[in-house]
Each structure stands twice: as structure tokens, then as C-alpha cells.
Amino acid sequence: MLKKLCLVVLFISLSCAGGTGAGAQVCGAIRNDYAPSASCAVLIDADSGEVLYEKNPDTRRPMASTAKVMTALVALENYDPDEIATVSKRAAYQEGSSVYLTEGERISVNELLYALLLESGNDAAVALAEHCGSYDLFVEMMNEKAVLLGLSNTFYSNPTGLDDPSGCTTALDLARLLAHAMKNAGFAKISGTRKIGFGGRVFVNHNKLLWYYEGVDGGKTGYTRLAGRTLVTTACRNNRRLVAATLNDPCDWSDHINMYSSEFDKA
């Protein structure tokens, strides 16, 4: 089974999934000795919280655009999706990945959430943060939510995940966050959407495992030069939900498949 999965991985486009952009290495066959290339990795059971695999699970590292899982969750818990936000100059000219929002544009929170989670739009992240009335207050809300969820090794310095010396998370915190976020019906629907159009815009999900691994139905990608490639995904089979998270991982697609297969393909 693992050899067959390897052939699938080699056909996955390895373009950057978020942040400023970079290509991943082609890592070849999925290793039978099951050794992720990530600096940090975990696989957990989403319902019980049991850690099924771990590699430096509590080591703090930059999170890149996986921060947008929390951005989306806070927005969903505090906004009505039908609310209309006005794009500021700060949002429109935000650096990094973008869906090309324009200053003064009026756009629904719902569309911003799809732009955030599918296309990893930093402009959408800032627009969502500012919609509460204060960018800084929104970031405070993100950190308050992290405390409530017991994510003791996570701190957000912005809603985008762009590099900042104070921003950090761990593979275990990231996996636990996604497990919680998937309980929000709105988050689960958006995160698992492969492609959607809004007027003249079309958003395509950067999470390629939605197409290439059976059961994957959510997650978030990320990349910055400081963080490297970051990825958190979730997969459900036979009513069992698992969550995988990797930080600084050049072979993230194959490593997530390998971790999932280690559990789902058990006899």
C-alpha cells in the first residue's frame, strides 16, 4: 500500500502552499522506516487527543500561514458570515500571499474566510482582523483563545503568520488547534472546500491532500523563509478522525500521508 501511495505523492504539485512561496523537494519513495523529514511532527487522534506519533512535539517554532487556522476560528466565533467588511489600505497592501483585495472594497466575511483558508490571503487575514474594530484587539483575541484551548506553547503576533520574533507554536499545539477547529461547522466546510468562485474571483485550496489522499477533509498550509514549510491536515475514515502537523518539513505531503497510513492501513 505504501509503495502505491508513493506513486501518488510524486504526481502532487509541490509548489508553495502559503506565505511568501517556495517549492518543496521531491522526496521520492515514502520511507518504510517511517521517519518524517520535519523538524517537528505529530499525529493525534482528534477525539481522544491520544498522541500516535511524535517528533519534537513541544519544540517552539515559527508557524507561517498555519496561524490562519486561529484567525479563521476567531472570526467565525465573533462575526456573522454575511457581515460586510471594508478593505483598508493596510490590508490591500499587505505583503506576501494575496487575493488582490483593493482599498475601499466591500466584501463579505464569508468570502474573506474562503480567501484566507483556501488561497492563504494575507490581505484577507488583515481585513478580517480589522473588521472587529482593532487589528491589535483581534490578535489579543487569538491569544486569549489559545489560552482557553490550553495551547501553552503558542503565541500569535499577527493574523497572517508572517515571520515575527515573538510568534511561535508547536506541532502538538497546532494539531490540537485543528482538531478543535474542525468541530466548528463553518470552519470544516470552508477548510475542506477544494475550489469556489465569488463573482470574478476563484479560490483554489492549496491543501493538495484534499485531492490525493482518501479521507483528508481539512487543514492549512504555510511557508516563510524562517519557518520553512508548515502543514496541518486532518483525515477521517470509518468515523475515526486523525490530525497531522509538521513544522519545517521539506517533504510535508509524503510525511502526512505516511503518518496517516501508519494508522489507517493497519490490519
pLDDT of residue 70: 98
Residue from 37, 88, 97, 120 carrying the catalytic annotation: 120
**Is 120 tagged catalytic?**
yes
pLDDT of residue 33: 57
First to last CA, the chain: 12
Measured CA to CA in angstroms, residue 260 lies from 44, 63, 153 at distances of 10, 21, 25
- What type of residue is 41? A
Residue numbers of the chain with a pLDDT score lower than 70: 1-34, 267
Query: How many other C-beta atoms are found inside a 10 Å radius of the C-beta of residue 197?
Result: 10
Residue from 37, 55, 68, 261 carrying the catalytic annotation: 68
Name the nearest CA neighbour of 41 among 265, 258, 244.
244
Q: Grid coordinates 515573538 are at which residue? A: 166
By the 10 Å C-beta count (0-12 exposed, 13-18 middle, 19+ buried), 7 is classed as exposed
Q: What is the DSSP letter of 39?
A: S
Distance between CA atoms of 63 and 167, rounded to whole angstroms? 7
- Coil/strand/helix, residue 57: coil
pLDDT in tens, 104-125: 999 999 999 999 999 999 999 9
Residue from 37, 55, 65, 208 carrying the catalytic annotation: 65
Instruction: Spell out the domains of the chain, with CATH numbers in brackets.
Output: 2-264 (3.40.710.10)
pLDDT of residue 35: 75
